Amino acid sequence: MKSILLAITLGTSLLLPSSGWTQSGDKKEKNKDLLDSTNWRKWAPDPVPYLNAEETLDTFKIAPGFRIELVAEAPMIKDPVFAEFDLKGRLWVCEFQTYMKDLDGSDENVADSRVMVLEDTNGDGKMDKSTVFLDDVINPRGLTIVEGGALVATGDGQLLFCEDTDGDLKADKRTPVLEYATAASGNIEHAENGLHYAIDNWMYNSKSNRRLQWKDGTILATDTKSRGQWGMSTDAYGRLYYNTNSAWFYTDSEIYDRQYGDPRAKSGLVRGIRTNTAMNRAYNPGMIKEDGRIDRVTSVSGLAVHSHGAFGEEWEGTIFSFSPGTNTVAAFKPDKPMPETKGFNQVHYPDEKWSQREFLASTDERFRPVNGSFGPDGCLYIVDLNRGVIQHKKFLTSYLRRQSAERELDKHIGKGRIWRVVPEKFEKVPAPTDLVEGLNHPYLWWRLNCQKRIVEQHRKDLATKITEVAMNGTDPGQAHAMWTLAGIGALSKEVVSKNLEDDGWFVRMTALRLAGESTPLPHIFPADYVSHAKAIGDSNTPVLSEYANLLATKGYPNRFASIYKDKEPGWIKKDKDLHDSYQRGLTTYSQYCAACHQPHGKGLTNLAPSLVKSDWVSDNPHVLIGVAMNGLSGPISVNGKPVTDVPPIMPPHNFLTDQQMADTLTYVRNAWGNKSDKITPAQIKEYREAHKERPAPWTEAELRK
């Protein structure tokens, strides 16, 4: 459930003539006369009543075989936009209490919002206890539970590590660990969001071209494909799902080297069960049909994928995408089961009044499904912002402002609900008894979250038990166990070799994908497995055989998001030890350094300096070792020139092993046109021993001595 809020094209308008009022959203309209339209009065002339939860339940129409239940509501929560379960069954909720409090969007960046933790103490499926985990923050847009606490993305452009040090479920320590969603304070609909944990042990984000990882109390970042606007999800096969406000969903399979293709929504059709006049540009001729509904979606927000959950085989692989503007949740079923899925078909249901409707639809105009995910019970949870105005002031047209005021859509804020969609024949599946058993659980939620906890805790003590699951578990359990072993640095060649001969296509696919992880060079397909790949190339499963043949002939495809392609210098190729160190260093640099200094080494303005032809890199190796191990603070000069466009801090990386550090610095000293002597593990060990009592970063003056 790791994505947040709303990619929405809705909003409001004052009871003022447009000639005397101009909204920011009006700037895109060339025909200003259209903004004077009051066409909504034809279909929806009256104020919109506020419905309590029981009344809203009566407005729902849902697909046969399902029911919808209330999980939580105001005042327990207010203005929810994101929710995530932890391993104890508690629901963590992010609130947007200062989002569009009125038609002017007043006080938006006031720190009045919270993160709530909800509990169901009697097991009846409804939350009955709430605790304020974090308060006095600006519109928290997402969170994820990590080892030691929670990462919370706030509206002031910070990712906070929040800790409860005394066990009362209230954060008494908050530490900024990364700039995140820096655009949120001025453009809240178009800023980074997500924090969605996937099978490869990385957290993926929408409106972002980076992925994140929490390791040893440190946040790591690497480049990735730019994706989406609001919302991020994944399935049991490592495919990522995201969307934009006018597209139900997109997919890609970058995690599995882009071998599954990228099917996307075939159309933007939407079928609600009420008039949809409160849309930002519904004044455009033809946007509203004769029955008062819009034909194509313009307000998609989060999405969730049923992949190994409680809905059963009939719904396996179905994408549920949320349209708060039309008060609907749409369902898209795959045309064939994986690995043969090539596309998805939108499912519509007959409706006596409206001809067709979506999987879930409501006549309550304040039902705003902005986010959702599948929980530990395998059911679909929907975050309902539950208000009339959801368009941000930056994009609000005077047409919508006027309509929202006239129809009183700006009233009744500070509400909010969370709903659960449950199969009529729902049967509970027991939770696992421990983390390793969780890797083999039938539900994806448990497998992913147990994997995440093991990897973040770096539980190498569990490697033997995890290896047993990797070699003898269920098909999905074996895959998760392999990724878990890779995440803790304990994936053996024995596991890879056995699983390359497994009967399950996904187990073999994962063994091929992770074969490199059983060696010091994970981004290079090992020569030892070329014969295995050739044998798998004769498989009757096309996606598996094509991947195997690719690896047998060309090796792994380039996995770096940057267009930069590393060119190994000729002198490196002539020295086997130097070549091996360089290649290992490339891998570690890509994981821990490239997000700031970039794959091409040229750095980023306002983030990190260039490493290309830099005296910090090529001169005294002890200076470079000191910077990498203990970090650097204060102003610096590069090649004698003061640097003014990067922060005065470089974090320490002494968590790397001696070998990793030596290889990384060797790579940096010989990539991008640099050429300097190799750094050895012995040099790193000597430095570590000499400066083991030093906790602080160096200054340039100290190092230049």
Bridge partner list, 331: 320
The pLDDT of residue 5: 39
pLDDT value at 510 more than 90 = yes
Confidence (pLDDT) at 562: 59
- Mean pLDDT for 89-114 is 95
Cβ partners under 8 Å of residue 43, min gap 6: 275, 277, 288, 292
Contact 96, 108 (CB under 8 A): no
Of 375, 373, 377, 374, residue with least CA distance to 431: 377
Q: Which pLDDT score, from 0 to 100, does residue 575 have?
A: 92
Task: Indicate if the pLDDT at residue 17 is higher than 60.
Answer: no
Is residue 642 helix, strand or coil? strand
User: For 9-36, what is the mean pLDDT?
Assistant: 64
**How high is the pLDDT of residue 587?**
87
Two tokens, residue 11? 């909003």
Query: Stretch 87-113: mean pLDDT, rounded?
Result: 95
| Mean pLDDT, residues 174-182 | 93
- The count of C-alpha atoms lying within 13 angstroms of the C-alpha of 122, restricted to the half-sphere facing its C-beta, is 6
Locate the DSSP E strands across 35-124: 60-62, 66-73, 80-85, 91-95, 113-119
Question: What's the pLDDT tens digit per position in 67-85?
Answer: 999 999 999 999 999 999 9
Q: Residue 437: phi, psi to the nearest 5?
A: -60, -35
Given this model, what pLDDT does residue 1 score? 39
pLDDT per position as a tens digit, 568-592:
899 998 999 999 999 999 988 887 7
User: Residue 651: is its pLDDT beyond 50?
Assistant: yes
Residue-level pLDDT at 15: 36
For the segment 529-551, the average pLDDT, to the nearest whole number, is: 96
Peptide bond into 334 cis (omega under 30): no
Query: What confidence score (pLDDT) does residue 341 get?
Result: 96
What band does 561 get if pLDDT is binned at 50, 70 and 90? Answer: low
Least confident of 24-33, 90-99, 119-128, 535-544: 24-33
- Per the listing, tokens 């010989």 go with 670
As a whole number, mean pLDDT of residues 46-60 equals: 97
Q: How confident is the model at residue 23 (pLDDT cuts 50, 70, 90)?
A: confident
Q: Please give the average per-residue pLDDT across 518-525, as a whole number.
A: 85
pLDDT at residue 19, rounded to an integer: 37
The better pLDDT of the pair 491, 644 is held by 491
* Inter-helix orientation angle 621-630/658-670, to 10°: 130
- 219-233, 490-504, 640-654 — most confident range: 490-504
Is pLDDT of 317 > 60?
yes
Chain segment 274-308, per-residue pLDDT in tens: 999 999 999 999 899 999 999 999 999 999 999 99
Q: What is the mean pLDDT of residues 19-34?
A: 78
pLDDT in tens, 250-269: 999 999 999 999 999 999 99
**316 falls in which pLDDT band (50, 70, 90)?**
very high
User: What's the whole-number average pLDDT of the chain?
Assistant: 92
Question: What structural domains does the chain harbor?
Answer: 18-423 (2.120.10.30), 461-554 (1.25.10), 570-704 (1.10.760.10)
Q: pLDDT band at residue 28, thresholds of 50, 70 and 90?
A: confident
Q: Would the pLDDT of 649 be above 90?
A: no
For residues 155-171, average pLDDT: 95
Residue 557 CB neighbour total at 10 angstroms: 13
Query: Of 151-155, 214-218, 302-306, 321-325, which gets the smallest average pLDDT?
Result: 214-218
Q: What is the pLDDT of residues 334-351, one digit of tens each?
A: 999 999 999 999 999 999
The predicted model gives 493-498 an average pLDDT of: 98
